[in-house]
Amino acid sequence: MRSSAPAVRPGVFREPPAWQSFLVHVLAVADAEARKLSHDPVELLTRAVQPTLWLAVFGQVMARIRGVPTGGLGYLDFMAPGILAQSVLFIAIFYGIAAIWERDLGVLHKYLVSPASRTALVTGKALSAGIRALSQAAVVYGLALLMGIHVRVTLPSVAAVLVLVVLGSALFSMLSLIIACLVKTRERFMGIGQVLTMPLFFASNALYPLNLMPTWLRVLSVVNPLTYEVDALRALMVRGGVSLFGVGTDVGILLAWTVFLILAAARLYPRIVV
Amino acid sequence: MGMPGDVSPEGAAIRTAGLTKRFNGLTAVDAVSVEVRYGEIFGLIGPNGAGKSTMIKMLTTLLPPTAGHAWVAGFDVGTQPTEVRKRIGYVPQVVSADGALTGYENLLVSARLYGIPRAEQGARIREALDLVGLADAAHTLVSRYSGGMIRSLELAQSTLHRPVVLFMDEPTVGLDPVAYRAVWEHIADLRRRFGTTILITTHNMEEAEEHCDRVAIMHLGRIVAVGSPADLTRDVGPDATLDDVFVHHTGAAIESGGSYREVLRTRRTARRLS
């Protein structure tokens, strides 16, 4: 038995610059998530059901009514980016439950006692949620092509759409993580998740344009980040789609929201342990 | 109550001074001052609800103390948490290995989070798998592991970066005798090879008596006795056991205590490991 500190501290390595460690930690968390998905991809299939129902049932009926002024776009063309954004939202908004689950299991403790910064861990989770959402883009593109929706299938446009899907998913998963850190139990979380999704969806331009809304709803929609996600997707994803705010503005607002929510989540993340 | 320069935290693997944690008026850890020497196997023993897990969570930086101080490997857990995290390993009572990943992948995540240089990762992981006898199961999903294999993997995972101090919260709860023996062999092995200081909690007095160099008996958030099992039992009487020592110092039987949530957690862990 030794009575003084061990001379060598083999646990401590020469440290790379902070930004490099940050990147390694973010990618370590995201890579673990990607590996989990590759082991059990079944959930990706069940997630295809909802966007299919919205586009193939709701969308086709609404398209016949021709009741929504979509500015020259067919209703299905108008709606497809909205449904992609919606399915990203619906998955991401329940992402926080995974954190509660990881807490109950003890996986979370392992991350929190590691030297990785809380911001890196949480950013890794945001990126993980983004990776999970990519399958939704594949589903919506597939459906859109089958249904004759006029999607752009050029490399730059698809790449831009995927970036937006990851960004939107990161944003809403962080909102979800913040809620999870505050409510801490699955039961309370499910309740709040249910209450949040529909207002976020309906108070946005996913199904109908902003100028059709009563003023109070339009005010809510302009605050709602989902509106900017849809606005950018609409311009990038479908032929003839136009952005109301400009894609640059949309991306700027989404990025600002995401960074803000990541920083807030990083502060709250350790609280979930108790 | 800042600690003046007369303490030399470097001298002890763990040192606490008046360490206190209160939850909504309930005092879980009550002004504990204790010292663990480098290279010891130290047992924190007492019934469920004595405050052992809360102690460990403060020492591993998962919970901020309400009052008092703690140093681990010479660093203050309150003001230098990252330095502490680089030097510790932690196996929580709940199962911390990720069942949706393979054993190898679990270790890979840890290697990355602890900044083990890429060139060294493969060799470290192989060595760790060999050490705990999991080389053949490296690429099997952890959800298919037995309880003993899971604990062994968690040991490998929490020591991959060769921590100065390893914390284990009830490491053998729910294990069958064979797995129990294997876990203790690995722990002994770790200390032999790397001089690791090991702090475990247990409510099993026989386990503490057999394996710990020194123990601290906790009751209602306080430490009521500290010493080697031999010294403590000798003071109580001939043929005394640690159970007798506990009764002698607290006037209570070991079975008492434990909140609903703690009992639930213990049972859930036991169920998952069996």
pLDDT for B133 equals 92
The mean pLDDT value for B213-235 works out to 93
Tell me the CA end-to-end span of chain B in Å, nearest whole number. 45
Interchain CB distance below 8 Å, B10 and A39: no
CB contact under 8 A, A4 and B194: no
Q: Hey, are the CB atoms on A105 and B62 less than 8 Å from each other?
A: no
Q: Are A105 and B95 within 8 A, CB to CB?
A: yes
Rounded distance, CA B71 to CA B10, Å?
A: 9
Q: How far is CA B146 from CA A246, B105, B172, B175, in A?
A: 56, 17, 13, 10
Tell me: pLDDT of A59 over 80: yes
Name the residue of chain B whose CA is nearest to A32's CA. Answer: B109
The pTM of this model reads 0.89
pLDDT band for A1, please (50, 70, 90 cuts): very low
Model confidence at A3, pLDDT cuts 50, 70, 90, reads very low
Using an 8 Å CB-CB cutoff, list chain B residues near A10.
162, 194
Domains and CATH numbers, chain B: 9-273 (3.40.50.300)
- Chain B residue closest in CA terms to A15: B115
Tokens standing for residue B134: 């999991």
Separation between Cα atoms, residue A65 and residue A58, nearest integer Å: 11
- At A209 the pLDDT is 92
Summarised one tens digit per residue, pLDDT across range B101-139 is 999 999 999 999 999 999 999 999 999 999 899 999 999
From the list B37, B92, B101, the residue facing A109 with the nearest CB is: B92
What type of residue sits at position A121? Answer: L
Residue B24, both tokens: 């909504």
Chain A positions touching B213 (Cβ under 8 A) are 1
* pLDDT above 80 for A12: no
Complex-level ipTM: 0.88
Domain boundaries, chain A: 19-34+45-273
The pLDDT value given to residue B6:
37
Structure tokens at B115: 């900044």
Cβ contact, residue pair A32, B97, below 8 Å: no
Nearest CA in chain B to A10: B162
Instruction: State which residue of chain A sits closest to B141, comparing Cα positions.
Output: A39
Q: Does A67 touch chain B (CB under 8 A)?
A: no
- Rg of chain B (C-alpha set): 18
